[in-house]
Chains A and B, each alone.
Chain A
Amino acid sequence: MKILLALDPSTETMDEAIRLATEKRASLTALFVLDATWNDFTGHDWLSGSGSRADFLEYARDNELTSEADTIAEFRKRCSPDCEIKSSTGRVTDEILRELAREKYELLVMSHPFRRGLEIVRDAAGAILKHANCSVYFVRGNESRSSLNTVNDMPFQTVAN
């Protein structure tokens, strides 16, 4: 049996996928998708001149890379060495569906709500359920709605280039 874990910051989802894989003696593949739709998301913004939007898109991309490194490191700490970790770039749900279509997975494990890139403003669960070719297991994510309701005076770091 093959299980695909769509990675987001939720450690509960990671643990649950690892538990399921161990229980069912299944091979586990984790997929991290870097969101490449920030450009499209800010496409209506014609007022930004010069470097503004470029700086923002670069900043968003750096954040995506930091998030990728952090999430994968977190997953590596938990999983067995034979787990496969993949990474791709694109629209998050499209990339997950593409991976599902490419390999014969029997189960997809992901968080709900799914906190990867712009999926925070989109309905990842809906998009996946509509087109998934296998069973889907949603885990209630443990990260509160990002940092919106917490006082956090420390600016977080981005990857230096």
Chain B
Amino acid sequence: MEEKHGMAKVIAIIPGLAFMVFTLYLLRTYVEPWMTTAVVFGQKGWFVQVLHLNYILLAIIAGMLYRNLLWAGKIPGWAEEGFRTTRLFIKSGVMMLGSLYTIQSLAKVGGVAIALIMSFVFGTILFVMYYGRVQKMDRSLIGVMAAACGVCGVSAAIATTPAVRAKPADVALAIATVLGFGIASMFISPFIGHMLHLSDYQFGAWVGTGILNSGQVLATCLAYNPTIAPGTAVAYGEIWNVVRVISIPFVVFFITMWYWRAEAEAEHITLVGIIKDKFPVFIIGFFAMTALSSLGMLGAEGSSTIQLMRTVMSWIFGLGLVGQGAYIDIRELKAAGGAPLKVGLAAGLIKYALALVVVLLFVSKETNF
């Protein structure tokens, strides 16, 4: 493909981006309001009351329908560049979420988040290392699966692959497993949450700990409660997400050391080097927003300024999620198989269920955050 520069690059973005904006506009102005009033099976607002659909889930579903039905598995050339902006939007949304917290509130919830996540991360890594060996899986693939199931799913797998010299084709199967699990839990978790009457705090803690692929944590929380404000599912889930993202370089370091133990290559690996290379810089933006909000520079809680800021945020997320959906090819997920599927499924299910049990037993419904 010809690489474009300057203005040509910007122009190439427009069609896909406009398509994403148009989709979200339709969903938010027409489809969502219609769903709250539509009578299905004799119940008013069945889509919302029973299916718990909201614009977040609709955005993802719309993206998935485009890719898998309308475009038969491939984002077309005219929309390609525009859809590539999806990560920019989600990253921006995540940074803006930093404004929901103050430094004090972050410190209060952060402790619980770090304790829960670290025990689950390393628990899962050890489980995968053991079970992968039982399944006679390749050592480098065990490394990739351990990172993927332990921390952030796809991002962790991608970060670990070059370090443990895993075959990209095998990694593709690992990604299919992890992403498939993430997407399934994104649609199922809100149901379980509503069924068990979890509070927003509990739901955020559960989903933040239990979902295999961090890419789906935010969307799942927003699917449970689409309100973006302090004290909602997304506010809690995001703290968990941030802790997970920050821990990626450390996990990559740990797994790389395990993989290369007693080999010359291990001497060249330093934690500082890995952090420099892999640390997600956009997380700094998240904390910058928290600092600004702690200083009261973004307007008072409940003010019209904050409301407008959160409306902007919800549009940014919505846009990003239409794109996210369009990057999901169901056929590629169906190809998941072999040992990665067995190991991923076992680790994923145990983590998901265990996190729910821990949250129900030890995390109280109320929080004074």
Contact = CB atoms under 8 A, between A and B. Distances in A.
Contacts of A153: 139
Given A122-B331, A145-B338, A150-B138, A50 B281 contact: yes
A22 interface: no
Interface stretch (B47-55, B112-120, B171-179, B290-298): B171-179
A121 B168 contact: no
A147 to B, nearest CB: 5
B155 A148 contact: no
Q: Taking chain B's interface residues, is the majority helix, strand, or loop, or is none over half, making it mixed? A: helix
Contacts of B172: 41, 118, 120-121
B139 to A, nearest CB: 6
A146 B86 contact: no
Contacts of A51: 277-278
B159 interface: yes
Nearest to A94: B74
Contacts of B91: 46, 49
A117 B245 CA distance: 28
A40 B279 contact: no
Contact of A146 (B1, B74, B155, B170): B170
B328 interface: yes
A117 B170 CA distance: 10
B28 interface: no
A81 interface: no
B169 A56 contact: no
Contacts of A56: 158-159, 161-162
Q: Is the interface of A mostly helix, strand, loop or mixed?
A: loop
Contacts of B328: 44
Q: Which size class do B's interface residues fall under? A: 35 or more
A50 B338 contact: no
A47 interface: yes
Contacts of B137: 148-149
B170 A50 contact: no
Contacts of A115: 169
B301 interface: no
B140 interface: yes
Contacts of B214: 47
A161 interface: no
Nearest to A156: B165
B146 interface: no
A38 B154 CA distance: 13
A40 B75 contact: yes
B24 interface: no
Nearest to A64: B168
Interface string A49-74: 11111011011100110000000000
A46 B215 contact: yes
A151 interface: yes
Nearest to A151: B136
Contact of A47 (B83, B173, B280): B280
A40 to B, nearest CB: 7
Nearest to A36: B1
Contacts of A112: none
Interface of A: 36, 38, 40-53, 55-56, 58-60, 63-64, 91, 115, 117-118, 120-123, 145-153, 155-156, 158
The 8 closest A-B pairs by CB, nearest first: A49-B280, A44-B327, A155-B165, A121-B335, A59-B162, A47-B155, A46-B87, A43-B327
